[in-house]
Amino acid sequence: MQTHILGYPRIGSNRELKKACEQYWAGKTSLQELLEVGKTIRKQNWKLQQEAGIDLIPSNDFSFYDQVLDMTLSVGAIPARYQDIASNELDLYFAMARGHQKEGLDITAMEMTKWFDTNYHYIVPEFQKDQPFKLFSNKIVNEFIEAKEAGIHAKPVILGLVTYLLLGKEKEEGFDKLDLAQNLLPVYTEILKELENNGAEWIQFDEPFLALDLDQKAKEVYQSVYAQITQQFPNLKFIVTTYFDGLKDNLSLATTLPVDALHIDLVRAPEQLDAVLATIPETLILSLGVVDGRNIWKNDFNHSLIFIKKAIAALGSERVFIAPSCSLLHSPFDLDLEKNEKILSPEIKQWLAFAKQKVSEIVTLKKLASENPDYNTLQQLAENKQAIENRKVSTLIHNQDVKNRVAVTTESDAQRNSPFNVRKETQQNALELPLFPTTTIGSFPQTKEVRSWRAQFKKGDLSAQEYDHLLKEETQRTINWQEEIGIDVLVHGEFERNDMVEYFGEQLAGFAFTQNGWVQSYGSRCVKPPLIYGDVHRPQPMTVYWSQYAQSLTQKWVKGMLTGPVTILQWSFVRDDQPRSTTCKQIALAIRDEVNDLEKAGIRIIQIDEPAIREGLPLRKAEWQNYLQWAVEAFRISASGVEDATQIHTHMCYSEFNDIIHNIADMDADVITIECSRSQMELLNAFADFKYPNEIGPGVYDIHSPRVPSKEEMVALLKKAQAVIPAEQLWVNPDCGLKTRHWDETEKALIAMVAASKEVAAAY
């Protein structure tokens, strides 16, 4: 029995990599200094795993930006537009990741997208027809040698050839990226030869696509690629890893690849173990992913041991590996760094394990599964059992009122009083909005001052009163200004919020926070997701104070601003002791309370943001409808407690709607605002084709760029929108919130936006 890790977080225990990269990009440090930081992090990670007693320690799991981009550089799939950047390898690499604007050159970055259903983003490979590949970067071999010099006989982690191709994008017509496999194979061979020459024994190929829907052609490419690789390297041992879902219909494909070991995710798909054990060929080693690599909960040893013992009984211990479910890239670094008991209470902390702790769990599980675990190990099992028991019965977690309320929630709670066509008329009479009404998505610039007030308030340098006063002034300025330039539906500006999920999590029961629980999102960007540990409810109103204050300053409507239940769920670490759908329903009821209280306080337009609905889609199509059913229901529960006259908005960014448009319609928001400008209104077609009945605000300008759009540009976009959606359904707004913008850009852009709306409306 051996233990191994699929990959370790590389941001460093205190986000050293983030800081080092950003300093280097800003020209404040040298390349040499940056390379040193990388080296130190790698060495620390290796030592940590070695000291914990892991048998197979990964190399090449480190990355300065992204492991997919690393592979692109390794195999020399460098898009032609970067050819003139005559600099070192790392600068070329960063240019591909971030674009290059220097010395008169302006080269766009490569596209970035989500890594399966995680919040990690990878850089999408770009392929041409007859894409040439050649060995370009020696990172994989170099890091193996570096590990050897540090006394570690590492297992290089390489993005599997088929997965690498499937992650990429065809940049011209007339070919299928999978046809590139034969071009690419010789480069993989070259890398493997070098690794073999340097003494490598085990090679890990990550092939998460084996756990996704595959067509016949992809299956055949899998077979052919792995037959060729293993034939050429009879002396190397290969482990193919799958994660994030079960093998399902790809079971026999995966178990018959001629490799030495197969890794399966038993956290996401525990039910697959029996099927795998029933069909696994006699020579294959099975790696059991029993420790959750994507969540923060302590492993339940007794539960994992059931799987491990079952596998040992079927295969013998020599054919069993123990591992986390996936790379620990998605876990925060080290729970030991959470020292402030006021932020994370000891009771909650005892239920948690971050990456470093998960490494120890793997080693302990191996000892526990051996014939005669020593006294110490048995002690650890007893402690583990105690912590798991504590969590099951903790009064911190379980709130009978919340459970009862969820149990009695019915269909009718997810239903507005009247259908949209009736509501629309009521709302028209109540709100008296013009044609092409203008609004914004919620946040206004979070200036340096606003952020410094919050920091000072948190440190205690500003009193609650002073802080409140400053925020009120900022809100008042913003309300007055919107009124002045003629926006129809105003917002208060969200100055009191740090983040659209954290702000609510901090006020809801059942949420905890960490000081240092950072996880890489993309490049140097990290997120610190809240942790939902218990039954969620809302002890008291969360936003009424600010909305009511803002509304008191103006005769115009001020829109209340909330984050929706699916987005709060999606951007948090969630409970593993109940289905996501149950947690989501609890959050939905809490948001519903807030919506109802806003209405009572005189707020007649309320927006419930749901930018994360689409990203929550399961990886397998067969599971989409089930997810969409509870996700849409959760939104409806949050939105349906109000009178017909109260107008509910929702907002979504970076989404495509084609394949989920009927579910979006099912949400039955009176108004939906979407990000649209970069697609030149193309995203609206899904709504037009569907004859979407409710109102829509397609974003008329991109808020991700400091560029100020002209009135004419926005008029043109509105005309495009109007060509496919009836005018009486259209709203005018930016793509998303304005918190990352500066005031001068924002002022110019919104003044032009109001003028554009007036011009289009005048034609009626």
Which residues are tagged catalytic?
704
CB closer to Zn ion out of 500 and 760: 500
CB of 441 to ligand GLN, least distance (A): 4
As given in the structure block, the two tokens for residue 542 are: 């969360």
179 labelled ligand-binding = no
The 8-class DSSP code of residue 461 comes to S
The conformation of residue 88, written as its DSSP 8-state character, comes to: -
Q: Which does residue 442 touch among Zn ion, ligand GLN, none (CB within 5 to 8 A, set by kind)?
A: ligand GLN
Q: Which stretch binds ligand GLN (CB under 6 A): 7-15, 228-236, 464-472, 734-742?
A: 734-742
**Closer residue to ligand GLN in complex, CB, 350/498:** 498
Q: Residue 654 CB, nearest distance to ligand GLN (Å)?
A: 9
Exactly one of 349, 454, 585, 651 binds ligand GLN (CB under 6 A); that residue is 651
729, exposed or middle or buried, with CB in 10 Å at 0-12, 13-18, 19+? middle
> C-beta of 171: minimal distance to ligand GLN in Å?
29
Residue 160 or residue 734: which is nearer to Zn ion going by CB? 734
Of 238-267, binders to ligand GLN (CB under 6 A) are none
> Please, what is the end-to-end C-alpha distance for the chain in angstroms?
76
Question: Which of 500, 648, 686, 730: binder of ligand GLN (CB under 6 A)?
Answer: 500
Return the SS3 of 79: coil
**Residue nearer to ligand GLN on the CB measure, 349 or 739:** 739
**Which entry of ligand GLN, Zn ion, none binds 664, CB below 5 to 8 A by partner kind?**
none
Least CB distance from residue 652 to ligand GLN, whole Å? 7
Check if the beta carbon of residue 624 is closer than 8 Å to that of residue 661: no
The interface partner of residue 755, options being ligand GLN, Zn ion, none and the CB cut-off 5 to 8 Å by kind, is none
Give the H/E segment covering residue 626: helix 624-639
Instruction: Tell me how long the chain is.
Output: 764
The verdict on whether residue 115 carries a ligand-binding annotation is no
Secondary structure of residue 78 in the 3-state scheme: coil
d(CA 702, CA 680): 10
Q: Is 653 in the site for ligand GLN (CB under 6 A)?
A: yes
736 binds Zn ion (CB under 5 A): yes
| Strands 557-563 and 489-490, bridge-based pairing | parallel
- Binding letters toward ligand GLN, positions 421-450, x by CB under 6 A: --------------------xxx-------
Residue type at 561 in one-letter notation: M
In terms of CB distance, is 377 or 548 closer to ligand GLN? 548
How far, in Å, CA of 611 to CA of 482, rounded? 24
615 annotated as ligand-binding: yes
Using rule CB under 6 A, residue 565 touches ligand GLN: no
With beta carbons less than 8 A apart as the criterion, state whether 359 and 54 touch: yes
Task: In whole angstroms, give the CA distance from residue 594 to residue 602.
Answer: 13
Q: Does 561 bind ligand GLN (CB under 6 A)?
A: yes
Contact 467, 593 (CB under 8 A): no
Name the one range near ligand GLN by CB under 6 A: 307-315, 376-384, 624-632, 733-741: 733-741
Nearest one of 451, 577, 446, 565 to 508, comparing CA atoms? 565
Cβ-based nearer residue to Zn ion, 561 or 639: 561
The site string for ligand GLN over 739-758 (x = CB under 6 A, - otherwise) reads x-------------------
Chain residues 595-634 in contact with ligand GLN, contact rule CB under 6 A? 609, 611
Q: Which residue is nearest to ligand GLN (CB)?
A: 737
Residues 6+ apart with CB under 8 A from 260: 237, 238, 239, 283, 284, 285
Say which DSSP state 706 is in: S
Whether residue 11 is annotated as binding a ligand: the answer is no
616: partner contacted, choices ligand GLN, Zn ion, none (Cβ within 5-8 A by kind): none
Tokens 């006699």 — which residue? 282
- The answer to the question of whether 651 is labelled as a binding residue is yes
For Zn ion, the closer of residues 471 and 653 by Cβ is 653
d(CA 67, CA 758): 48
State the DSSP code for 111: P
Where are the extended beta strands (E) located within 591-743? Answer: 605-609, 647-652, 671-674, 695-698
Residue 15 assigned as binding residue: yes
Burial of residue 414 (CB within 10 Å: 0-12, 13-18, 19+) is buried
Task: Answer whether 674's CB lies under 8 Å from 731's CB.
Answer: no
Within 651-680, the residues that bind Zn ion by CB under 5 A are: 653
Q: Which amino acid is at 437?
A: P
Which C-beta is closer to ligand GLN: that of 97 or that of 441?
Answer: 441
Q: Looking at beta carbons only, is 92 or 561 nearer to ligand GLN? A: 561
Q: Is the Cα torsion angle 366, 372, 374, 378 positive or negative in sign?
A: positive
To 10 degrees, what angle do helices 139-149 and 31-52 make?
Answer: 60
> What sections of 150-239 are H helices per DSSP?
161-167, 181-197, 216-232
CA distances to 15, 248, 413, 416, 501 from 642, in Å: 45, 44, 11, 7, 23
For residue 679, the minimal CB distance to Zn ion (Å) is 14
Of 322-330, 408-416, 621-629, 732-740, the window that binds ligand GLN (rule: CB under 6 A) is: 732-740
Using CB under 6 A, count the residues that bind ligand GLN. Answer: 13
Cβ at position 745, least distance to ligand GLN in Å: 15
Residue 739 interacts with, from ligand GLN, Zn ion, none (CB under 5-8 Å by kind) = ligand GLN
Closest distance between ligand GLN and the C-beta of residue 637, in Å? 20
The single residue among 453, 550, 737, 754 that binds ligand GLN, judged by CB under 6 A, is 737
The answer to whether 71 contacts ligand GLN (rule: CB under 6 A) is no
Task: Provide the 3-class DSSP secondary structure of residue 383.
Answer: helix
CA–CA separation, 252 and 260 (whole Å): 15
C-beta of 126 vs 609, nearer to Zn ion: 609
The set of residues, in sequence order, having a beta carbon less than 8 Å from that of 376 and lying 6+ positions away, is none
Q: Are 435 and 727 in contact (CB under 8 A)?
A: yes
**Residue 10 makes contact with ligand GLN by CB under 6 A:** no
Q: Is 405 labelled as part of a ligand binding site?
A: no
Cite the DSSP H helix spans in 233-345. 251-255, 272-279, 301-315
Q: How many CB atoms lie within 10 A of CB 173?
A: 6
| 322 near Zn ion (CB under 5 A) | no
Show the site string, 586-625: x = touches Zn ion by CB under 5 A, - = not: -------------------------x--------------
Is 494 annotated as ligand-binding? Answer: yes
In the complex, least distance from residue 563 CB atom to Zn ion, rounded to whole angstroms: 11
Token duo for residue 658 = 């084609």
Residues making contact with Zn ion (CB under 5 A): 611, 653, 736
- Residues forming the annotated binding site? 15-18, 114, 441-443, 494, 525-526, 571, 609, 615, 651, 653, 675, 736
- Residues forming the annotated binding site for 5-methyltetrahydropteroyltri-L-glutamate? 15-18, 114, 525-526, 571, 615
Residues making contact with ligand GLN (CB under 6 A): 441-443, 494, 500, 561, 609, 611, 651, 653, 736-737, 739
- Residues forming the annotated binding site for L-homocysteine? 441-443, 494, 609
